[in-house]
A and B are shown apart, each in its own frame.
Chain A
Amino acid sequence: MTDTTTKIRPPRNQWWDVWDQFKTHRGALVGLTIFVAILGLILIGPLVWHMDPTYVDFRARNKGFSLAHPLGTDQLGRDLLARMMAGGKVSISVGLTAMSLSIFLGAAIGVLAGYFKRLDGHLMRLTDLFLALPLLPLLLLMVTLFRDPLSKGFGPEGGIFLLIVTAIGATSWMQTARIVRGEVLALKEREFVLAARSIGTPAHRLVLRHILPNVMSPIMVSATLGIASAIITESALSFLGLGFPPDFPTWGRLLFDAVDQIQLYPMRVILPGIAISLTVLSVNYIGDGLRDALDPRIRGR
């Protein structure tokens, strides 16, 4: 038995354990490095590379790689490096925000439906309703209805950003809600939930302390997948003319602009493609590492 003279470590913040475990996951570290690098390029890049992404220079159309335009120019002579950086800012912020919104909605509805039996029927029928809605006509309707009032309120770009994020978030939470509900249903029958109730833990703290940490894994997985699908949905929307205005660069927009001339200028498709893939892949690896690091049963192996 340890007597009081031996050194006893006081309980330390659990996030240090999480970080220690995260560091041992090689894929997650590589993913984190790449993601931080992409973020750095996007946020710090424009401070170094002063070219305006919307500046049209007809004398320099369809240029290849050069010192004046490191990644070349597009069919209107706009600098691709500047457009990549500006587009990345929009794409990643749309991806992250829409994913957060959809995860928040999905987790909240899933937990409420799973934990409170009275809400289960209603919330799950609501989920079924959303799953049954045809997505594209719905988005079309939302854009036509709300584009102008939102543009007035938050400026043309801010308004569209809000609209797209809400549209993607509000139409992609259903899978998460279903998965989370199933996990919560199984979890709430476990004895530690009963033990917490016998202590007198109120429902909201019970959910936050015992239920949510234990449904973290499926939430993390759908979150990382959600970023990818949000970026891609935004591209699809922009392509259909429902998203950002045509001259406003996003990665999806760049891709679709370049697709017409893919045989002549393949690099213009490959570059934004690589950017999207790298972001999605690095986020997936980060999510994988985080999920492992958050589970104390896997930690330390």
Chain B
Amino acid sequence: MFDGGKRPLVEVEGLKMYFPITAGLFRAKVGDVKAVDDVTFTIYEGETLGLVGESGCGKSTCGRAILRLYEPTAGSVTIDGEDVLAAPPSELRAMRPKMQMVFQDPQASLNPRMTVAGIIGEPLDEHTTLTKPQKLARIYELMDKVGLNRDFANRYPHEFSGGQRQRIGIARALALNPRFIVCDEPIAALDVSIQAQVVNLLEELQDSLGLTYLFISHDLSMVRHIADRVAVMYLGRIVELATRDALYEAPLHPYTQALLSAVPEPDPNAESTRQRIILKGDVPSPANPPKGCNFCTRCPKVMDLCRSVEPEFREVAPGHFTACHLHNQTAG
């Protein structure tokens, strides 16, 4: 569907990010927090992959591990044919311009002591040898592109509203003409009215610059709006990955079904008849995930098999992947 004729830009294979838990006098390792546990997916050039899931399921960690802001425990990430995780520091630095990130909290992601020009110009300082006037011209060009007044170049981040700050963050990410941008909940800290502006800006930039996004969010409606394909994460694993329409209209995994049933309907009549699937219990600790399927403690359709055997992440329909025993059986 979307992958026909399109070239894969980002390939993530068996990505694992474990954080060690240490205890005692000698800081002995007693276990791992399995924040991201064996995640595999591909992002095609020019598309937006939405990554959704509840808080603490490892979405942001996954995004950061792909850009190697953390050192992942295992797995491989290939961006535009180059292995990011195996590269030595100097090569990794040379790859950085290709992959950039937009952060969740626009307040915290901008250095309060730098001017807007300094913030947007930092990537240019690091990776280009532009002269001062060339750099300024590029900064102004970027500010125009994200809809910031050029006169703001001398101001400091605290003088801006949340939406404007996020625009500064986006301009910084665009400075080096990246191919791939990880948007780590770029709209979670913004007002609803500003959210739409920022998302529209991201879409416009995608169209004009041919960008590829990994769009991390917990806002299902927004992901439906912006994403081409959607991956659903639960407790460090991807449970379902499909094109947007297939996932929103016919979710296969019980967790996806429960998640989607929680999205409010704008139409009051539809809203009053909406059937919510209420999950019981809490998310198990990622330091001690249940045996078998990660979701078996809360799944409304749980079977004996789920408590012992880990379901395989497999393609049950063209372009529609899920990790659930229910669909393994039907498929054979």
- Give me the interface of A with B, judged by CB distance under 8 Å: 1-2, 6, 8-12, 14, 190-192, 194-202, 205, 209-210, 213-214, 294-297, 299
Find chain A residues with CB under 8 A from B172 CB: 195, 199
**Which listed residue, B93, B100, B103, touches A202 by the CB 8 Å rule?**
B93
- CB atoms of A214 and B112 under 8 A apart: yes
Q: Are A296 and B158 in contact (CB under 8 A)?
A: yes
Stretch at the interface among B149-157, B233-241, B263-271: B149-157
CB distance from B188 to the nearest CB of A (A): 13
Mark interface residues in B98-125 (1 if CB within 8 Å of A CB, else 0): 0111011100111111110110001100
Find B104's partner among A8, A191, A201 (CB 8 Å cutoff): A191
Task: Please tell me if the beta carbons of B122 and A214 are within 8 angstroms of each other in the complex.
Answer: no
Interface string of B36-50 (1 = CB under 8 A from A): 000000000000000
Could you list 16 examples of A-B contacts with CB < 8 Å? Answer: A9-B151, A9-B154, A10-B136, A11-B153, A191-B105, A192-B108, A192-B110, A194-B103, A196-B122, A198-B101, A199-B172, A200-B93, A201-B122, A214-B113, A296-B156, A299-B156
Judged by a CB distance under 8 angstroms, whether B1 is at the interface is no
Is there contact, CB below 8 Å, between B123 and A199? yes
Residue of A nearest to B103 (CB): A191
Q: How far is the CB of B181 from chain A (nearest CB, A)?
A: 10
3 nearest CB pairs, A to B: A200-B96, A191-B109, A296-B156
What is the chain B residue whose CB lies nearest that of A299? B156
Kindly state whether residue B191 has any CB partner on chain A within 8 Å. no
Q: Report chain B residues within 8 Å CB of A210.
A: 111
Known interface pairs A191-B104, A198-B69; A8-B109 also in contact (CB < 8 Å): no
| Contact count A vs B, C-beta below 8 Å | 91
Residues of A contacting B274 with CB < 8 Å?
Answer: none
Number of interface residues of B (CB under 8 A): 40
User: CB-CB < 8 A to A10: which residues of B?
Assistant: 136, 153
A201 to chain B, nearest CB (A): 6
Nearest CB of B to A213, in Å = 4
| Complex CA–CA separation, A255 to B92 (angstroms) | 62
CB distance from A93 to the nearest CB of B (A): 31
**B6 within 8 A of partner (CB):** no
Whether a CB of chain A sits under 8 angstroms from the CB of B304 is no
Contact B150 A201 (CB under 8 A): no
Give Cα A210–Cα B118 distance, bound, in whole angstroms: 11
Contact assessment for B126 and A192 in the assembled complex, using a CB-CB cutoff below 8 Å: no
Among B110, B111, B112, max chain A CB count under 10 A is at B111
Residue in chain B with minimal CB distance to A193 = B111
Instruction: Judge whether A297 and B112 touch: CB under 8 Å.
Output: yes
Interface centre among A192, A209, A294 (most CB of B within 10 A): A192
6 further contact pairs, Cβ within 8 A, besides A190-B108, A205-B126: A2-B150, A10-B153, A11-B154, A198-B96, A296-B113, A296-B156
Contact A11 B100 (CB under 8 A): no
Most A-side CB within 10 Å, residue of B108, B113, B158: B113
Cβ-defined contact, B122 with A199, below 8 A: yes
Question: Does chain A have a CB within 8 A of B97?
Answer: yes
Q: Give the residue name and chain of the A residue nearest to B169 (CB).
A: A195
Docked Cα-Cα span, A10 to B64, in Å, equals 35
Min Cβ gap B115→A in Å is 6
Closest chain-A Cβ to B141's Cβ sits at a distance in Å of 12
Whether a CB of chain A sits under 8 angstroms from the CB of B67 is yes
In the bound complex, what is the Cα–Cα distance between A11 and B120 (angstroms)? 12
Q: Say how far B134's CB is from chain A's closest CB, in angstroms.
A: 13
Residue contact B122 to A194, C-beta cutoff 8 Å? no
B7 adjacent to chain A (CB < 8 Å): no
Given contacts A12-B154, A198-B69, contact A214 B111 (CB under 8 A): yes
A8 interface neighbour in B101, B123, B151, B158, Cβ under 8 Å: B151
Known contacts: A192-B108, A296-B158. The answer to whether A199 contacts B69 by CB under 8 A is no
A190 to B109, CA, bound (A): 7
Tell me whether A14 and B115 are in contact (CB under 8 A): yes
On whether the beta carbons of A195 and B103 are closer than 8 Å, the reply is yes
Contact A199 B96 (CB under 8 A): yes
What is the CA–CA distance of A10 and B127 in the complex, to the nearest angstrom? 22
Asked, given contacts A1-B149, A8-B151, A296-B156, whether A197 binds B69 with beta carbons under 8 Å apart, the answer is yes
Residue from A2, A11, A209, A214 whose CB has the most chain B CB atoms within 10 Å: A11
How far is the CB of A32 from the nearest CB of chain B, in Å?
23
Contact A2 B96 (CB under 8 A): no
